[in-house]
Amino acid sequence: MALQYSTTLRNAQLDAIESTVGASAVLKIRSGGAPANVAAADSGTVLATFSLPSDWMAAASNGTKGKSGTWQDTSADASGTAGHFRLYASDGTTCHVQGTVGTSGADMIIDNTSINAGQSVTISAFDVSAANA
């Protein structure tokens, strides 16, 4: 039998994401595939860098947690095709979360995966769900 967790426990697990990463999280959209894990060195070119709002995730509810506020880079760093994201602590180097990025069917939804240097880039959706309901 698989473990099952209460909604209260699942919400607490999800709320720990924001408290662990910190209030001044940095998000980077990168080209190419993600590294093997979050401890591995960065890969790809940084296309866009986001300084997330101080309360960047909504409170978890029913085992799901979503982005809070506007996540936008008003001037992309470089040109290329978005392939993955990495979420860092405020130092911009300690990676805590990574995943796919796309206009649909990805871990993080972006307005356009074809990024040109200097353009505005917006994250339209980022939701995380806890397992073992």
Of 88, 85, 77, give the one whose Cα is nearest residue 29.
85
Q: Is residue 116 part of a domain?
A: yes
The pTM of this model reads: 0.93
Domain assignment present for residue 94? The answer is yes
Residue indicated by tokens 């860092």: 88
**Count of domains observed in the chain:** 1
Distance CA 101, CA 99 (A): 7
pLDDT at 1 > cutoff 90: no
Model confidence over 7-60: pLDDT tens digits? 999 999 999 999 999 999 999 999 999 999 999 999 999 999 999 999 999 999
Half-sphere exposure of 112 toward its Cβ, with a 13 Å CA cutoff?
Answer: 12
Domain coverage including residue 11: 7-129
